Structure 1
Amino acid sequence: MNQINPDQILSSEEIKAAKDAFEAYDKMGYGTLEVEELQKILEEFGHKPSKEELQQMIIQVDVKNKGFIDFEDFKRAIAIYKIIEEDNEEDDTLDAFVAMGGNADKSGTVDATKLIQIIKSDFKMTIDIERLINEMDRDKSGQISYQEFKNLLSD
């Protein structure tokens, strides 16, 4: 993961927000932050990395174990966390797909009728789930593939 190019992973808005946060925490203007501040900054952005995730980021960005990071290291840490979050989201989606009847290798399908029932009855949601499923079920089979399921959850 050390070969990550944060400029390819982060949007220009995310880079600007990272720069603003970095500068706000770099009170002395040295161009560095203590690695311990990384967690505080992430939490300010609404992220709550686990100890393991935080440790993984620190290992990746503070490779010389200096105890501080510069802005490029900071951007890399943010990019690493973004990748970790996306992986966690993918895992959650796959877990839900499997719980609904799909397979862990992303094969199989989920019955659209069962999905509608669960969303309306168990979760008591009032969204127009029939319309959403109809839009996602491109082949109109009444069976939702993993990709269709993932698209449904991301909309």
Structure 2
Amino acid sequence: MNQINPDQILTPEEIKAAKDAFEAYDKMGYGTLEVEELQKILEEFGHKPSKEELQQMINQVDVKNKGFIDFEDFKRAIAIYKIIEEDNEEDDTLDAFVAMGGNADKSGTVDATKLIQIIKSDFKMTIDIERLINEMDRDKSGQISYQEFKNLLSD
């Protein structure tokens, strides 16, 4: 992960927000932050990395164990956290797919009728799930593949 290019992972808006946050915490204007401030900044943005995730980011960006990071290191840390979050979301989606009847290897399908019933009855959600499923179930099989399920949850 040390070879990642944050400019390819982060959107321009995310880079600007990262720059603003970095500058706000770089009160002395040295162009560096202490690694401990990384957690504070992430929490300020509503992220709660686990100790392991935070340590993984620090290990990737403070490879010389200097105790501080510059803006490029900081961008890389934010990009690493974004990758970790996306991996966690993928795991959660797969867990839900399996709980609904799909397979852990992303094969199999979820019955659309069962999904509708769970959304409406068990979760009492008021979204138009039939319309969403109709849009996602491209082959109109009534069976939702993993990719269709993932697309449904991401909308």
Aligned CA-pair RMSD: 0.3
Aligned length: 155
Unaligned runs of 5+ in 1: none
| 1:30-55, Cα deviation, whole Å (9 max, x unpaired) | 00000000000000001010000000
| 1:122-143, Cα deviation, whole Å (9 max, x unpaired) | 1000111011101100000000
4+ long deviations beyond 4 Å:
none
Deviation of 1:8 after TM superposition, in Å, equals 0.3
Deviation of 1:116 after TM superposition, in Å, equals 0.3
| 1:91-138, Cα deviation, whole Å (9 max, x unpaired) | 000000000000000000000000000000110001110111011000
2-structure distance, mates of 1:20, 1:135: 39
Please give the TM-score of this superposition, normalised by the length of structure 1.
0.99
2-structure distance, mates of 1:137, 1:13: 33
Give the 3-state SS of the residue equivalent to 1:33 in structure 2: strand
1-structure distance, mates of 2:12, 2:113: 41
2-structure distance, mates of 1:9, 1:148: 24
Deviation of 1:12 after TM superposition, in Å, equals 0.6
Give the 3-state SS of the residue equivalent to 1:141 in structure 2: coil
2-structure distance, mates of 1:13, 1:63: 27
| 1:48-72, Cα deviation, whole Å (9 max, x unpaired) | 1000000000000000000000000
Identity of aligned residues (%): 98
Deviation of 1:28 after TM superposition, in Å, equals 0.4
The answer on 1:105 being equivalent to 2:105 is yes
Deviation of 1:78 after TM superposition, in Å, equals 0.1
Give the 3-state SS of the residue equivalent to 1:115 in structure 2: helix
Give the 3-state SS of the residue equivalent to 2:46 in structure 1: coil
Give the 3-state SS of the residue equivalent to 1:49 in structure 2: coil
2-structure distance, mates of 1:105, 1:75: 33
